[in-house]
Amino acid sequence: MTELLLNHLGGRWQAGTGAGTALVDPVLGHELVRVDATGLDLPAGFAHAREVGGAALRALTYGQRSAMLAAAAKVLQARRDAYYDIATANSGTVKGDSAVDIDGGIYTLGTYAKLGEGLGERRYLADGEAARLGKDALFQSQHVLVPTRGLALFINAFNFPSWGLWEKAAPALLSGVPVIVKPATATAWLTQQMVRDVVDAGVLPPGALSVICGSSAGLLDQLQPFDVVSFTGSADTAALIRSHAAVVQRSVRVNIEADSINSALLLPGDAPGSEAFELLAKEVAREMTVKSGQKCTAIRRVFVPEALYEAAAEAIGARLVRTTVGNPRNESVRMGALVSRAQLAAVREGVAALQAHTDTLHDGARHALIDADPAVACCIGPTLLGARNADTAALVHDTEVFGPVATLLPYRDTAHALALVRRGQGSLVASLYGSDAHALAAAALDLADNHGRVHVISPDVATAHTGHGNVMPQSLHGGPGRAGGGEELGGMRALGFYHRRCAVQASTAVLGALAPTA
């Protein structure tokens, strides 16, 4: 029997009472550890987080909490090698892909530690200036933001066990709100180990950070009106969460990050071989293969002017053919595994469904696996599809295949391209490529209502830009419509989710006494 990972709830480490669910190496196929949450006293555990953890966090200033985040980042930094080993074993990722998750998570935590420093001794945040309510300036309204007196429950997806935790936990803890994280079962090990290291290091107050590994059964039932829930995962599970009594009847605030059919768009005017054209080909190939395409922000649809369709297919294909796929322990491998056999089956099924309506421009099935047994390993090569009629390829605009798969689509003119991008019905990110600053700016603004982020890649930022799919803590992450309607990160904006806004209407003297450091 492999080790059963412990849950941290109610201020102590405890084992579930069931046999547990096995976590499996997606390349070698063997069992690594088990997780189980059966028999946990959820009401007591949630109450402990809310009452003990929440009170301790709120007793600190923003500055003290930011120092706490910095200490947590230091603990994680010292244990990076162990996290890379877990990621290789449990996620089947090559080093560079593990870094996106592990170092991306630690960087985000560190960024919030720095942002919080600026808030120093404050205990609440002022929201705007006081506003006169009538002719007499004596009586005014001042909006304040105070930490919610509940807990934050995170239900996370399998693809970012580290970053998915810290990108949410950093703003929550900085806000003074305790966290309970339920990682996706398939890759829960890394989340559990990181929480374990931070909790055992004693850098957070008791009850500030808890982890429940295993089934999500009963978690939402525990939520009370001042709690918040943040979910990342499929649209189907998101719908279940939205319709739960905690949200519908108890007004628990909910943030949803769901699936997204993200776009890359090369604007008219840049010929094959031009810098903008090459930047598109490079970014598409990179986005398709980083983390084997298991990124909510990955490029799924690629739009190019009609006349450049063949050239773009060739340029992207030429990069994909060089992608070596297989065991991430082999130095020559550039792309590791999908997370499980179930995901492999889902990706194969999704590719087959899209292939019924598209041409296969680069066939991932042709990639031989390096150092990996195809009967066991969850590895698959990158596949570029193409549809000459972007208008009638309905499935392409509506299907997220969560793997190394994208579809090339030609457009007639800019208006046509922008309309096609919108058929994603709200996405996390679109990237634009071109060399005409005015055309790029106009397209960015046009797509802004439909996207959480528009990433513009022009030749002048060829080496400076941060990548279509990389979520930077300074920028908003989330998207309207089918992307879930959520908002995360965006620097200090992220704190809003964990605060309650209240208008204090009072005399000038009383408002003056609302010292933020009181």
Chain residues binding ligand NAP by CB under 6 A are 155-159, 182, 184-185, 216, 232-234, 237, 240, 257-260, 296, 400, 402, 428, 484
Residue 327 or 343: which CB sits closer to ligand NAP?
A: 343
Written as one letter, the residue type at 316 is I
- Least CB distance to ligand NAP at residue 408 (A): 21
Task: Please state the closest distance from residue 47 (CB atom) to ligand NAP, in A.
Answer: 20
Diameter over CA atoms, the chain = 79
For the stretch 307-330, what's the b/e string if a residue is b when 16 or more beta carbons lie within 10 angstroms of its beta carbon? ebbebbbebbbebbeebbbbbbbe
Measured from the CB atom, the residue of 255 and 358 that comes closer to ligand NAP is: 255
Helix pair 80-91, 95-117: axis angle to 10 deg: 130
Closest approach, Cβ 193 to ligand NAP, in A, equals: 17
Distance CA 138, CA 123 (A): 25
Q: In this complex, which beta carbon is closest to ligand NAP, that of residue 54 or of residue 484?
A: 484
What's the CA angle centered on 324, arms 320 and 330, to 5 degrees?
Answer: 160
- Catalogue the active-site residues: 257, 296
Tell me whether residue 233 or residue 317 sits nearer to ligand NAP (CB atom): 233
- CA dist 298 and 394 (Å) reads 19
Cβ atoms of residues 173 and 164 within 8 Å: no
The residue (of 65 and 182) whose beta carbon lies closer to ligand NAP is: 182
Closest by CA position to 414, among listed 438, 396, 450, 397: 438
Question: Shortest Cβ distance from residue 99 to ligand NAP (Å)?
Answer: 17
CB closer to ligand NAP, 37 vs 312: 37
In the bound complex, what is the minimum distance in angstroms from residue 44's beta carbon to ligand NAP?
A: 20
Asked whether 254 and 241 are in contact (CB, 8 A), the reply is yes
Element (H or E) spanning 14, and its range? strand 12-14
Indicate the residue type of 263: S
CA distance 508 to 132: 10
Smaller CB separation from ligand NAP, 287 or 400: 400
Dihedral (C-alpha) 15, 19, 23, 24: value to the nearest 10 degrees? 150
Give least dist CB 477 to ligand NAP, A: 6
Write the CB contacts of 59 (distance below 8 Å, at least 6 apart in sequence).
none
Q: How far is the CB of 260 from ligand NAP (least distance, A)?
A: 6
Residue written as token pair 């997204």? 260
| Token reading at 242 | 């939205």
Q: Measure the CA–CA gap between 451 and 449, rounded to whole angstroms.
A: 6
Q: How many CB atoms lie within 10 A of CB 288?
A: 29
Burial of 3 (0-12, 13-18, 19+ CB in 10 A): exposed
The residue of the chain with the least Cβ separation from ligand NAP equals: 233
The strand pair at 299-305 and 262-266 is best described as parallel
The angle formed by the CA atoms of residues 218, 226 and 428, to the nearest 5 degrees, is: 80
Is 317:362 a contact under the CB 8 Å cutoff? yes
Please state the closest distance from residue 427 (CB atom) to ligand NAP, in A: 10
- Measured from the CB atom, the residue of 183 and 326 that comes closer to ligand NAP is 183
Give 279 or 454: the residue with its C-beta nearer to ligand NAP.
454
Minimum separation from the CB atom of position 189 to ligand NAP (A): 12
